[in-house]
Amino acid sequence: MLDYQATLDYIAEAVEPGFGKGKVADYIPALAEVPARKFGMAIQLASGERFSTGDAHEPFSIQSISKLFVLELAMSHFGDMVWTRVGKEPSGDRFNSMIKLEMEHGVPRNPFINPGALATLDLLMSLKGDAKHRIRNFLRYLAMNDKVDVDDVVMRSELGHASLNRAMAHLMKGYGNIHMDVEDLLETYCFQCAMAMSCEDLALAGLPLATGGYTEMHDSAVLSAAQAKRINAVMLTCGMYDSVGSFAYRVGLPAKSGVGGGILAVVPGTMSVAVWAPELDQFGNSYVGTMALEMFTKLTRTGIF
């Protein structure tokens, strides 16, 4: 059997030359204060074994990785109705671009760019009950960690710099694709993005996507096998902002990134992998995190191609 612990420890040392080549996100002031040289990585096997290295136990702001979990929640309640509100295609633009959104009459290209995440969340908020509690409880359940919670400082910082997201929401509302009050929607969106989880939390939370929606640890089906398959497909083609082709070429796994420096990747049938390194490349993905995942798939031969 492959020595996963030795592999992770080797990667933690091997990525050292990558530090300093990216830049910590600063458009959300609270994120700019995160130490740039943090690094953590964790893998969660379908067998239940988990291995980690570095700062894998330290919570960080998951940001756009939350879009993946909100999509899971929405699909579990609404099924394919989700795709009446948002598409499945790569955007080719930055995650916060409005160019195609206006051209395509308020229907976002996919659920992993900001307008697509807002449309997905808007659908989820149509359910009775508090959407914030639903999202937090779902993340706690997936991570099997009742300490998973929102980072209030990040949430307030993000909400105070949400003008572009607010504009997107109003534009979509004008086209009839947002139904909730825009300010309530934005507050809930900033709440989901400011959820703090560790690599170990994320690796466990992502495991159902690797195992057809069911894990023995969660003891219930989080998603159907078809839903897990479809979400993995959209992650592969849309999960890494506008560098999905480069990421697929280098890493070869479905994955979702966040500007907090996290990336959650899925090895179908085998494991989920989470990595955190706050410095970002020009596309908003973790520079060192992408390096680490590229090394991991080469060393373990776990890419899907």
Terminal CA-CA length for the chain: 21
Domains annotated on the chain, with CATH: 4-63+195-300 (3.40.710.10), 66-193 (3.40.710.10)
Q: How many Å apart are CA 53 and CA 248, to the nearest integer?
A: 24
Residues 6+ apart with CB under 8 A from 124: 70, 73, 74, 77, 131, 134, 135
What's the pLDDT score for residue 95?
67
Residues 6+ apart with CB under 8 A from 103: none
In the structure encoding, which two tokens stand for residue 169, read together?
């929401």
- DSSP per residue over 207-219, as a string? HHHHTTTEETTTT
Q: How many Å apart are CA 25 and CA 58, to the nearest integer?
A: 18
Measuring CA to CA, which residue among 261, 262, 244 is closest to residue 253? 244
Measuring CA to CA, which residue among 301, 273, 284 is closest to residue 8? 273
pLDDT single digits (tens) 211-236: 999 888 887 889 999 999 999 999 99
In the structure encoding, which two tokens stand for residue 160, read together?
């105070």
pLDDT single digits (tens) 68-124: 999 999 999 999 999 999 999 987 677 667 777 888 888 999 999 999 999 999 999
Sheet strands side by side (includes 60-61): 60-61, 195-197, 149-150
What's the pLDDT score for residue 92?
67
The pTM of this model reads: 0.96
DSSP state of 25: -
In the structure encoding, which two tokens stand for residue 128, read together?
């009775």
**Which residue reads 């009459």 in tokens?**
105
In the structure encoding, which two tokens stand for residue 49, read together?
């074994």
Whether the Cβ atoms of residue 60 and residue 196 lie closer than 8 Å to each other: yes
**Which residue reads 């690599």 in tokens?**
199
- By annotation, the residues acting in catalysis are 64, 67, 189, 241, 259
Length of the chain: 305
Question: Could you give the C-alpha distances from 124 to 24, 63, 238, in angstroms and in order?
Answer: 31, 18, 20
Q: How many Å apart are CA 154 and CA 29, to the nearest integer?
A: 8
Whether the Cβ atoms of residue 62 and residue 197 lie closer than 8 Å to each other: yes
**Which residue reads 């890494």 in tokens?**
240
What's the pLDDT score for residue 96?
67
One pLDDT digit (tens) per residue for the chain, 305 residues: 789 999 999 999 999 999 999 999 988 899 999 999 999 999 999 999 999 999 999 999 999 999 999 999 999 999 999 999 999 998 767 766 777 788 888 899 999 999 999 999 999 999 999 999 999 999 999 999 999 999 999 999 999 999 999 999 999 999 999 999 999 999 999 999 999 999 999 999 999 999 999 888 887 889 999 999 999 999 999 999 889 999 999 999 999 999 999 999 999 999 999 999 999 999 999 999 999 999 999 999 999 98
